[in-house]
Amino acid sequence: MKKFYLFYSLFSVMFLSTVYFFTLVQGSQQRSLILYYELASEAYESKDMTPFIKYQSVAYNHLDSTILGDYQMESYQVIAYDNGVYKNQFVIYVLPIANVDYALSVNDPNDQTGITLYENQTSEVILDTYQDEIYEDKALSFGIDSLGFYYYHTFIEADASLNLSLYDYHGELIFSKIIEFDHINYSPDTGQMELGYTRTELEDLLDLNNYVRATLIKNITIFLVLDIFLGATIVFIVKKKKH
């Protein structure tokens, strides 16, 4: 029986560690998604994209802000960390400031929302949602239903004069502008850009200790009850067979 107790104790500790780790990972993912939507909601209400962009970027520069007709457009240069490399992105947010038509489903066949983005001097296409297969049959304005706004992003590998055109649900032009994009060889120590949230700030925002604690206590309690019951049952059966 001593060997059994030792084996079962090791098994219990290993399984308890698995429950603990799984709960933390799952809780962290859930909390990250919840925070994403919380920041999106705040951005929509305040029409200030700064906290939302800080949450998703290493660093950023605000390039342009325009209110035109029923929409507010906010453009950013964003640094993303991709496969160990800092990369420049162009991001533009489209926020409705009045009642507008938009897709209620990501598969809405009537949605003609889209963007054309090309280099103004060379006419090189950078992003065209009407030609790119990735966006085929995707209702891009559905973001308004889920977030309150929608946005486009694409990597930029050099200085560019971006000729930008945005179209609404009905395919009508809502915004057109040339935006100068100065590519940055980013280094965290140069102070070239506004910084995204630090690790400490993210930890404070996520507040995982408070968010995960209740689920962690519940899962561990359930495990301990089942573990004790299973162990006691096995011991009882073994002792009964011996007698």
pLDDT of residue 7: 61
Residue 151 neighbours by CB under 8 Å, 6+ apart: 91, 92, 93, 94, 143
The pLDDT confidence band at residue 109, using thresholds 50, 70 and 90, is very high
> Is the pLDDT higher at 177 or at 199?
177
Give residue 81's Cα distance to chain centre. 14
> Is the Cβ–Cβ distance between 115 and 127 less than 8 Å?
yes
Distances (CA, A) of 157 to 85, 90, 97, 160: 12, 10, 32, 9
Distance (Å, rounded) from C-alpha 71 to C-alpha 192? Answer: 30
pLDDT of residue 189: 77
Query: What is the C-alpha separation between 105 and 195, in angstroms, rounded?
Result: 35
Binned at pLDDT 50, 70 and 90, residue 176 comes out as very high
pTM: predicted TM-score of the whole model, two decimal places? 0.78
Residue with tokens 């962290």: 28
Q: What is the pLDDT of residue 136?
A: 87
Order of strands across the sheet that contains 194-195: 150-155, 85-96, 71-82, 59-68, 194-195
Q: Could you read off the pLDDT of 179-232 as tens digits, one per residue?
A: 999 999 998 777 778 898 888 887 787 776 776 666 666 666 665 566 565 555
Pick from 175, 78, 52, 203: which is nearest to 117 by CA?
175
Angle between helices 208-242 and 199-206 (to 10 degrees): 70
Mean pLDDT of 135-160: 93
pLDDT tens track for 54-74: 988 999 999 999 999 999 999
- Alpha carbon distance 128, 165 (integer Å): 10
Residue 48 has pLDDT above 60, yes or no: yes
CA 3 to CA 90: how far, in whole Å?
A: 62
